[in-house]
């Protein structure tokens, strides 16, 4: 099943501001992180069972600098300084996909900026795990 978690919806947190001024985002907005190393966009995601899940991160990066972030799951870095390449415009959204280890039940996924300009604008994450589709899945 695939479930979407919006960056602007609690329990997700955004170290910066939730904004909606760049079209094409899902939900009511996106996380525009503070432009500092260590700025975070954090999600709480559910997995049906322990194992490996696919995490898709939707983002936009309209600058020309390189944005990078550590992808931290349940406190452990799955990737360090993972590149979020420029998308050409703040209204052009791309999806970056990574395999992550998950526990059954609740998991914390944290994107931590490792570049001085902070994170790309983060729209949502989607997690796909191995369980069959359920009524109510997105
Ligand atoms: C612009 C843009 C923001 C973005 C910021 C940045 O201000 O409007 O959405 O977050 O650049 O470079 O991080
Ligand atoms: Ca920003």
What ligand 1 atom has the least distance to the C-alpha of 33? 10
- The 10s digit of each residue's pLDDT in 16-64 is 999 999 999 999 999 999 999 999 999 999 999 999 999 999 999 999 9
CB atoms within 10 A of CB 23: 10
Give residue ranges with CB within 6 A of ligand 1: 22, 32, 35, 63, 90, 117-118, 121
ipTM of the shown complex? 0.98
Q: Which of 18, 32, 63, 92 to mutate to test the pocket of ligand 1 (most atoms within 8 A of CB)?
A: 32
Sign of the alpha-carbon torsion through 128, 96, 6, 67: positive
Any residues with CB less than 8 A from the CB of 23 and at least 6 apart, and which?
A: 91
Residue with CA at minimum distance from ligand 1 atom 3: 32
Confidence (pTM): 0.94
Homologous superfamily of 2-128:
Galactose-binding domain-like (2.60.120.260)
Domain ranges of the chain: 2-128
């Amino acid at each position: 099943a695939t479930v979407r978690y919006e960056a602007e919806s609690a329990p997700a947190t955004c170290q910066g501001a939730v904004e909606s001024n760049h079209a094409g985002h899902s939900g009511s907005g996106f996380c525009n992180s503070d432009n500092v190393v260590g700025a975070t966009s954090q999600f709480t995601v559910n997995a049906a069972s322990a194992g490996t899940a696919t995490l898709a991160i939707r983002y936009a990066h309209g600058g020309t600098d390189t944005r990078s972030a550590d992808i931290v799951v349940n406190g452990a870095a799955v990737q360090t300084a993972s590149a979020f390449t420029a998308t050409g415009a703040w209204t052009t959204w791309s999806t970056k996909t990574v395999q992550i280890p998950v526990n059954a039940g609740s998991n914390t996924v944290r994107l931590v900026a490792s570049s001085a300009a902070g994170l790309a604008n983060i729209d949502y994450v989607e997690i796909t795990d191995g369980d069959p589709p359920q009524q109510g899945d997105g």
